[in-house]
Structure 1
């Protein structure tokens, strides 16, 4: 079973989608999905230092799990900083899952408002069932736009088809074949803190989204 499939309900927030479509602003053409895209890839870093500002909490993944983020370098420093903190927010959630607790410094550092509540509920589902995951989760088609109020919107897809749920009680890994539910569309809103960190405030997600299917 791919990761997240049995936990997805807790991660979908009541927030509306902020920009229509996975293209992130200006059209809904999905022809540039990951096939043929030339994008840099980044795995979870031992330390969250991708963008400036603040003493960033350490994030460390176990050797058997990795997040890969495509399209990190856009050529626009402001967009790159937003994408870096978006990636670290994702990493902070998985870091909490691996630690088995929902009150890590990194989680609060990269999330605030409704987003931290939804993240904690999601994490607690894993912790309660004593589950983690193994493998690789890929994040792609990441697009940034900016609102008139200064907030940023990041819309992106995830591919969980090569990440699998591990039962910590037995050590068994469920490697059931992936379905369309392994692909998730996320729509997030971020605001910049006084320390220069782009913190995620709102999250909406759609599992099995057609926009993210291969």
Structure 2
């Protein structure tokens, strides 16, 4: 417990600094309207990333969450290789975000999978947990994945989220904050993604809708 708490305290400072620098960065092609992380990519050994600053699809890391947290992804194989690649990078982005929240590791990797508004949204989500010395535990389910291409390098990914079996965790006390599970189901998330020069599908816009009819089962 003490180890987890100290990790959260480190995260609050380090995450805020890394993400603030990331928000001040520019795009690979020099464009000023896209947000990118700062500094060299130095992920932990446990994630087994590529040695390059941005991993290619073939050697992309698998981000592991804390032992008491788990993400379950359904409907990830569409039969279309390109759609499956986009979904795989979307899964990595989600797992990376939750790895940062639950372990405080691989903060610098966020710039590989998110930019612009999506980077800002993820940063705010992560720092909210870090500042409050919180994590989460349990199981979050992702289902009903859909991919719609706008061009060869741009697409929209939608999916549903059910985190009725997950709860926020106070890292100081180790206790879970239980709240109405009915309000944690049927959330629709929509992400606009763009494939960069390394073949990674980066989210650049994200939004969510709670109690979405599209997610009712």
TM-score, with structure 1 as normaliser:
0.71
Match of 2:87 among 71, 83, 107: 83
Structure with the larger helix share: 2
Query: Bigger radius of gyration, 1 or 2?
Result: 2
Match of 1:211 among 184, 205, 214: 214
Q: Which has the higher contact order (CA 8 A, sep 6+)?
A: 1
Match of 2:199 among 196, 200, 211: 196
Q: Does 1:139 align with 2:138?
A: no
Q: How does 1:179-194 map to 2 (within 5 A)?
A: 179-194=182-197
Task: Give the corresponding residue for 2:111.
Answer: 108
Cα RMSD, aligned residues only? 2.4
Match of 1:92 among 84, 96, 106: 96
Relative distance call for 1:125 and 1:202 in structure 2 (3 A) is same
Distance 2:48 2:164 in 1: 26
TM-score, with structure 2 as normaliser:
0.70
| Matched position secondary structure for 1:163 | strand
Q: How many residues align?
A: 168
Q: CA deviation at 1:54?
A: 7.2
Task: Give the corresponding residue for 2:3.
Answer: none
Q: CA deviation at 1:177?
A: 4.0
Q: Does 1:121 align with 2:100?
A: no
Contact 1:97–1:123, Cα closer than 8 Å, also in 2: yes
Task: Give the corresponding residue for 1:172.
Answer: 175
Contact 2:162–2:184, Cα closer than 8 Å, also in 1: no
Distance 1:75 1:64 in 2: 32
Match of 1:152 among 152, 155, 173: 155
